[in-house]
């Protein structure tokens, strides 16, 4: 019986699903592509119902476009600006009362250029993924080979230690032919010595017995795995590395790195500022002070640490969004970041609620409250 997802397809409801060109999204961004696709759909609908003028103009309010794309006034403003700059649409307000009208331009040449650009970006991402996988495979192979080499070296060292301890006794038996008497060994000619007895005596010495070798190897590997005494500096360094790793996972540091590399125009701030924020968070989390100065208040370090460990990618974007307006006024960048990070956990959700209230009609908001 094959695996099916028919129930999911029914719940998704194709009539409520919007399709976008992913190559176009690579070139312009998802927000711009979603708005562009929504405007094309609206033009098609209005044109089929005779609701466009001779030049192809049709109106769409902020709330109507938000219902189609989920993007609020701020995202719409940026996305529409980029679409106009790319020569894909026109937008203006006219009429009584004034309404926002759009016209989709028949600029197939520019769309083809953007799709080609998006295909190139997508291919670069695929190639980068392949290179990363190949690099990881090579590193894994090198670690395995290194582990095998160390294992062989440890085994050879163990065997040489045993032989060095046992060779004196073995040489004694070789000299006296296993009889325990050096004098008799001198009296017996070399050609008439019994080589069989020599082998038996060597076996009695347990030189060929594997139990002792296995035990020695195990002890050698155990000693190799045992770390030397860790100094306070090394312990502090390990603590900082663990904190930095956790913080980067919380804020999706790798996602920011890829965005800054491939879509720097789509994100605020810079990689240097993000690294500064991570460094400040690590310093605060790992410091030995009992209180941290946040604004003009000394707050227990435990409280600040708990707040900092709740910082996510959304909080970082929220800080960067507000950074441009206050950047000229910042005197102490470290103090500002500590205060902004501490307050972001609380003010971020209220900011989202404020945006929702701003983008939604007042009547709809009051109805939702009831």
Q: Which domain does 208 fall in, by range? A: 143-226
Shared domain check, 251 and 214: no
Q: What is the pLDDT of residue 367?
A: 46
Same domain, 261 and 360: yes
Query: Considering its fold, how many domains does the chain have in total?
Result: 3
Same domain for 247 and 222: no
Does one domain contain both 62 and 184? no
Residue 211: inside a domain, yes or no?
yes
3-state SS, residue 59: strand
Treating both helix axes as pointing N-terminal to C-terminal, what angle do 271-286 and 253-262 enclose, rounded to 10 degrees? Answer: 160
User: Residue 158 falls within a domain, yes or no?
Assistant: yes
59-67 long-range contacts, CB within 8 A, separation 24+? 59/95, 59/99, 59/100, 59/101, 59/102, 60/100, 60/101, 60/102, 61/99, 61/100, 62/100, 62/359, 63/359, 63/360, 63/361, 63/364, 65/35, 65/38, 65/39, 66/359
Among 89, 106, 123, which residue terminates a domain? Answer: 106
Do 357 and 245 belong together in one domain?
yes
- Long-range CB contacts (< 8 A, 24+ apart) of 271-276? 273/320, 273/323, 274/316, 276/333, 276/337
The answer to whether residue 126 sits within a structural domain is: no
pLDDT score of 305? 92
Q: Are 84 and 75 in contact (CB under 8 A)?
A: no
In terms of domains, do 244 and 365 share one?
yes
Residues of the chain with pLDDT under 50: 1, 163, 166-167, 169-226, 356, 360-370
Q: Tell me, what's the pLDDT at 245?
A: 92
Is 115 domain-assigned?
A: no
118 is a domain residue: no
pLDDT value at residue 18: 76
- Same domain for 341 and 254: yes
pLDDT tens-digit map of 276-321: 999 999 999 999 889 999 988 899 999 999 999 999 988 888 888 8
- Indicate whether 279 belongs to any domain: yes
Q: Identify the pLDDT of residue 352.
A: 55
Inter-residue contact 101 to 61 (CB < 8 Å)? no
* N- to C-terminal Cα separation, the chain: 49
CA distance 235 to 131: 34
Query: Which residue among 182, 207, 226 closes a domain?
Result: 226
123 is a domain residue: no
Q: Same structural domain for residues 262 and 222?
A: no
Q: Are 311 and 281 in contact (CB under 8 A)?
A: yes
């Amino acid at each position: 019986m094959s695996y099916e997802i028919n129930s999911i397809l029914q719940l998704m409801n194709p009539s409520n699903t919007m399709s976008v060109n992913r190559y176009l999204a690579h070139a312009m961004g998802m927000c711009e592509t979603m708005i562009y696709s929504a405007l094309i759909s609206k033009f098609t609908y209005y044109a089929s119902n005779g609701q466009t003028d001779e030049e192809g103009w049709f109106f769409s309010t902020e709330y109507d476009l938000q219902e189609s794309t989920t993007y609020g006034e701020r995202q719409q403003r940026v996305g529409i600006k980029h679409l106009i700059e790319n020569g894909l649409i026109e937008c203006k307000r006219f009429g009584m009362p004034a309404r926002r009208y759009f016209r989709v331009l028949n600029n197939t040449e520019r769309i083809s250029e953007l799709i080609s650009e998006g295909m190139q970006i997508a291919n670069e991402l695929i190639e980068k993924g392949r290179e990363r996988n190949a690099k990881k495979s090579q590193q894994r192979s090198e670690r395995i080979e290194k582990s095998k080499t160390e294992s062989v070296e440890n085994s050879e060292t163990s065997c040489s230690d045993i032989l060095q301890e046992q060779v004196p006794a073995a040489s004694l038996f070789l000299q006296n032919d296993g009889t325990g008497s050096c004098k008799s060994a001198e009296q017996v000619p070399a050609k008439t010595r019994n080589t069989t007895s020599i082998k038996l005596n060597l076996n009695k010495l347990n030189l060929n017995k594997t139990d002792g070798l296995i035990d020695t190897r195990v002890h050698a590997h155990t000693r190799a795995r045992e770390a030397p005494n860790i100094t306070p500096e090394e312990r502090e360094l390990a603590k900082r590395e663990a904190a930095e790793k956790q913080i980067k996972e919380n804020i999706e540091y790798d996602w920011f790195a890829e965005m800054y590399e491939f879509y720097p125009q789509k994100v605020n701030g810079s990689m240097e500022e993000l690294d500064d924020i991570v460094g400040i968070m690590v310093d605060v989390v790992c410091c030995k002070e009992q209180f941290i100065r946040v604004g003009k208040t000394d707050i227990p370090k435990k409280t600040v640490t708990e707040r900092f460990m709740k910082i996510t990618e959304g909080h970082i974007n929220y800080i960067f969004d507000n950074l441009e307006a206050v950047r000229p006024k910042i005197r102490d960048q470290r103090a500002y970041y500590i205060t902004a990070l501490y307050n972001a956990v609380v003010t971020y959700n209220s900011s989202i609620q404020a945006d929702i209230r701003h983008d939604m009609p007042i009547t709809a908001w009051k109805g939702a409250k009831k």
